[in-house]
Structures are given as C-alpha cells and as structure tokens.
C-alpha cells in the first residue's frame, strides 16, 4: 500500500490540478459512476463530526473520511481534515492512502469554480462571499482563476476574522472589502456561501437577475445557507440530485423542483445558463468520486 502523507499531497495540490480532476469527476458522476449513500457520524464529543463518502467509477473505487473538529481553532489548525483510500480492485486491498486536508480544500473550491465557469455570466466581476473561514479563501482564489474579479465583498458575523480575510486577499492583488449582506447581494454577480449555517443567510429578494449563487457549506441534514424562496426564481443545479435532496441545500427545495446534475451540463447533455437574466443556483454537497479523481492525480504526479 502506498501512503501519501499530508506534507506531500499538500505540496502537489493546486487550483489547476484540482479543477481538471474535479471536472472529470463531475462528468463521471452523471454518467457511469456509482455514488453510495453518505455515512454521517460524530466523535466521542458530538460536536466533533465526520462523514464517510464512497463511490466507484470506471477505473477507480474507494472512499474518503472527512472530519470537522470545531475546537481546532484553539489549536491553530484547520477544523477540517480528510484521508482518501483507493482500492486495488483486483484483490480488494487498499492500494493507496492519501492524506488530503489541504487537497480537500482545493477539491471543494474546484467544484465551485467548475460550476461557476459553466453557469455564471462570462462578464461577472463582482463576487459576494458569505463566510471568512479557512475554506472561503480557497473558494475566492479558485473563482478568481475563471472570472476577472474586480470586487470581492466579504460578509461575515466575525469582524476580526473578516478583516484578516480582506487583508489577505488585498495582499494578493484581489480587491476585497467588508460589506453587509443586503448591499453585497444587491450588487453581486456571483454569490457564494461557505458557512456551517442552519438558516438562510440572506433574503431571496436581494438577489438580482443574472446572478449565479453557490452553496458550499450544506453537507448534512439540517444545514441551510440559502432562502428556499430563491429556488422558485432560479434554475437549480447540483453535483448529485439524490444526495443534494438528502444532505445538501436542496433538502429545503420543493419536491417538484427540477434539479440538474452539473455533470450533464459539462458533458453537453443539459443546458446551463440560457440567458443573461437567469438566476442559477449550484449546490455542492461534495462527492466521493471527486476525491478519488484528485487522489489519483496526486499519484500520477508522483509517478511522472
């Protein structure tokens, strides 16, 4: 069995490699891949949670264990951590274990970027981001690769963390500023939410025609970032409809709401944005097949 420690996978991770791997994974998810039900669990302390996500594609099968330990803030380390296991399908043994704390951040942001590239208006330049945590930084940088972002409007309930986030983006040449939720939503052309929220973060009426909205934080029952009233005005997309209905943002959508897998848009089977005034919503609840593809890409880079 090959073991790839965090230090190695983190050095090889990048927005470029994650984008290509995740795009291929999302297409596979809507085609030949099998995505198995997510197992949600917690540690001895119920606030410490983890999820087991597994899948099988044409040439890859395996699983990811992703943990969320909120108390890690006090330790100065990220709340999220992950490990990906790939099977040797000839005998059922594990052929590779890839630690993926940082890799998972790139993978999640890549899902957002791939969907936004397919759904957001090509001239979108103003981004509103709800949340100023560790993952939000990756999301903004991934989107800055696929759209010419002129303004990043940061909405957060933690002013100190928000100020640090804004400063970090400005230092990288990304023009960012703190802003209240309503004002940010009314001027944004792309809105992303990257929070652990359990209730809508803004009012549906604040979202303007032509806006692309992405929920990146809803990945278990009860989580919610977007107002359900928005869904009646929008075209709805997700990584996997069945999973989104169970643990993603669209657990709060009407039963009759039409959900389209983003992989079908990427492969040309379904239409994405059909006009400049469309509101598009993308829900990313996170798929194991994305993890398998990025883990295999790490192995390929090591063998190159």
Catalytic positions? 64
**CB neighbour class for 160 (10 Å; exposed up to 12, middle 13-18, buried from 19):** exposed
Q: Which residue has the tokens 């960012």?
A: 176
Tokens of 127: 């981004």
Angle at 121 between CA 115 and CA 122, to 5 degrees: 95
26's CB contacts (< 8 A; 6+ apart) are 111, 114, 239, 261, 262, 263, 266, 287, 290
CB 215 within 8 Å of CB 123 = no
CB 83 within 8 Å of CB 2 = no
The span from the CA of 19 to the CA of 23, in Å, is 6
User: Can you list the positions of beta strands (E) in the chain?
Assistant: 2-4, 34-35, 39-42, 49-56, 61-68, 80-87, 94-99, 126-130, 151-155, 176-178, 190-193, 212-215, 235-238, 259-261, 280-283
CB count within 10 Å of CB 36 equals 13
């Amino acid at each position: 069995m090959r073991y790839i420690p965090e230090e190695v996978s983190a050095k090889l991770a990048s927005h470029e490699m994650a984008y290509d791997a995740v795009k291929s994974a999302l297409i596979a998810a809507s085609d030949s891949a099998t995505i198995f039900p997510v197992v949600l669990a917690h540690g001895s302390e119920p606030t410490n949670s983890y999820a087991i996500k597994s899948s099988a594609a044409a040439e890859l099968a395996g699983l990811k264990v992703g943990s969320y330990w909120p108390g890690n803030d006090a330790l100065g380390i990220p709340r999220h951590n992950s490990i990906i296991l790939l099977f040797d399908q000839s005998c059922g043994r594990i052929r590779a274990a890839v630690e993926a704390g940082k890799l998972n951040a790139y993978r999640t942001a890549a899902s957002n970027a791939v969907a936004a590239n397919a759904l957001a208006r090509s001239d979108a330049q103003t981004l509103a981001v709800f949340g100023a945590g560790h993952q939000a930084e990756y999301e903004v940088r991934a989107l800055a690769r696929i759209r010419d972002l002129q303004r990043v409007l940061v909405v957060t309930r933690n002013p100190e963390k928000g100020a640090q986030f804004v400063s970090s983006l400005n230092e990288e040449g990304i023009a960012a500023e703190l802003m209240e939720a309503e004002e940010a939503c009314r001027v944004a052309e792309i809105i992303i939410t990257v929070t652990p929220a359990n209730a809508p973060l803004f009012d549906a009426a604040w979202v303007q025609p032509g806006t692309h909205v992405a929920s990146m934080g809803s990945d278990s029952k009860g989580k919610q970032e977007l107002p359900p009233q928005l869904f009646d005005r929008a075209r709805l997309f997700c990584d996997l409809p069945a999973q989104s209905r169970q643990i993603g943002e669209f657990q709060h959508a009407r039963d009759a709401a039409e959900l389209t897998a983003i992989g079908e848009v990427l492969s040309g089977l379904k239409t994405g944005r059909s006009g400049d005034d469309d509101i598009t919503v993308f829900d990313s609840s996170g798929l194991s097949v994305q993890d398998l593809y990025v883990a295999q890409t790490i192995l390929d880079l090591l063998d190159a």
